[in-house]
Amino acid sequence: GYLQQWLEALVGAFENSIPLSSLEPRRPEEAGAEVPLLPLDALHVLAEQLDAGDLEQALLLLRLFIVLCRNLENVEAGWGQVLLPRVLALLTRLMAELKGTPASQEGRGLLLENVALHALLLCEGLFDPYQTWRRQHSGEVISSKEKSKYKFPPAALPCEFSAFFRESLQGADGLPPMLLLRLVHLFGAVLAGGKENGQMAVSAGSVQGLLGVVRGWDHGPAQDPRLVPLALEALVGAVHVLHASRTPPRGPELRTLLEGYFRILNADWPAGPSPGPEEALVALRVSMLDAIPRMLACEDRPVLQATFLSNNCFEHLTRLIQNSKLYLQARAPPEGDSDLATRLLTEPDVQKVLDQDTDAIVVHVVRVLTSIMSGSPSAKEVFKERIGYPHLLEVLQSHGPPTRRLLQELLNMAVEGDHSGCPPPPIVNEQPVLLLMQWLPA
């Protein structure tokens, strides 16, 4: 009676501050100082009522806990220890039921999804109380110095989390698109929220789950377009976690991750006359290539560069250029296809047009080669021994005359930066210049 009314009134007062549909960080004026503290014994009583048997009540309680976690003193008081085992158990049941819910029970499915979305949002608030993941994802740069000033630590990650995440991503095609997106988003929040939690969250199962999301890029138009980029960002974070781990060192796990990553990058192109999946696959390849320099943007970069070399990255990347040539030969231009100039004039997103053009893969591969070799004499030597610039020239020439973008990337490779800077940067790697002298007409 009275308790129910109090719960509904409190949740109603903060209704607008539950960011269920957005992945953006809260505004500063939405701070949680006005949110009351809840005694731990009261939390125990309420947490016991979290049950999949009464979804409406579970939803109300989850909304209450989301609001109360806005006051970080509640999080610090040991809430995670009380709530997380129950919330993860609830989520596990909800995910299993959602995967098996027939279309005829749409109303039930929507309620299950709504409860699960709120449960994931609550977990995010406990694991990433300062919204580090959301803020980074929106473009904010958060320094280690700023993180060291955080007063309240995140809730400790329960040992059940890895199994929950792995099992949820198995047969994930049966999950609603928004729920799958929020599941991957939660993993990123765990990595960003705290070092110890990140070390626990990154496991063979979670990495395979994320790679599976990327591998399933073509699973129908219903998939949220933000899903694969988010999974790639989470994989970048997983690389950083594994690379930074010293006790124990996790080199074998990192090599397994990279092996799976390059396998997806070089998977067969789809067969069939339709250009749609092929263009989507070019976009996927470009996104995966763009993620590699972000992986390499870390402390102790030379060690990570060496790990990439031990995974035969140069061979994988050279093969990707060759495979993309076969794809281009097989690809007939769609009926009524316009030339590049027309598409640039009619498409508002210029980068999207460029990334779908015939040289997109080649340009991005050269950019990645630059990133892997940058600042590393040993990486340059390995490239010369294993691939060689004459072979690179041969592979590039097989694509036809060089485009302006490709020439620019080769010049960037020579200076290991932006060649158009002022004053002009010095040449660090003369090999791309010699390559251009052989390729370009006198």
Question: If DSSP codes are grouped into helix, strand and coil, which group holds residue 246?
Answer: strand
Residues contacting 132, CB < 8 A, separation 6+: 142, 147, 189, 192, 193
What pLDDT digit, counting tens, does each position of 302-339 carry? 999 999 999 999 999 999 999 887 655 555 444 444 45
| Residue 209 maps to a domain | no
Question: If DSSP codes are grouped into helix, strand and coil, which group holds residue 53?
Answer: coil
The pLDDT value given to residue 243: 97
Give the Cα separation of 339 and 184 in Å (integer): 38
Phi, psi (degrees; rounded to nearest 5) at 335: -60, 130
Length of the chain: 442
- For CA atoms 219, 225, 228, 230, give the dihedral sign: negative
What pLDDT digit, counting tens, does each position of 393-433 carry? 999 999 888 899 999 999 999 999 999 888 889 999 999 99
**Which pTM does this prediction carry?**
0.89
Question: If DSSP codes are grouped into helix, strand and coil, which group holds residue 202?
Answer: coil
Give the Cα separation of 239 and 234 in Å (integer): 9
Question: If DSSP codes are grouped into helix, strand and coil, which group holds residue 418?
Answer: coil
What pLDDT digit, counting tens, does each position of 252-311 carry? 999 999 999 999 999 876 555 444 667 788 889 999 999 999 999 999 999 999 999 999
| Tokens encoding 398 | 């097989």
Domain that holds residue 124: 1-21+31-99+108-130
| Residue 255 maps to a domain | no
| Residue 3 maps to a domain | yes
Cβ atoms within 10 Å of 203's Cβ, excluding its own: 17
**Number of helical (H) and strand (E) elements in the chain, helices listed first:** 24, 0
| Residue 73 maps to a domain | yes
| Residue 122 maps to a domain | yes
| Residue 201 maps to a domain | no
Q: Looking up tokens 């929106």, which residue turns up?
A: 138
Residues contacting 197, CB < 8 A, separation 6+: 127, 154, 156, 157, 190, 191
| Residue 212 maps to a domain | no
Question: If DSSP codes are grouped into helix, strand and coil, which group holds residue 256?
Answer: helix
Nearest to 203 by CA among 258, 175, 165, 244: 165
Task: Enumerate residue ranges in the chain where pLDDT < 70.
Answer: 1, 27-33, 103-104, 218-222, 269-277, 326-358, 442
Characterise 416 by phi-psi region: left (phi > 0), alpha (psi -120 to 50), beta (else). left
Nearest to 96 by CA among 163, 170, 162: 170
The pLDDT value given to residue 442: 54
End-to-end CA gap in the chain: 88
Q: Number of folded domains in the chain? A: 2
| Residue 422 maps to a domain | yes
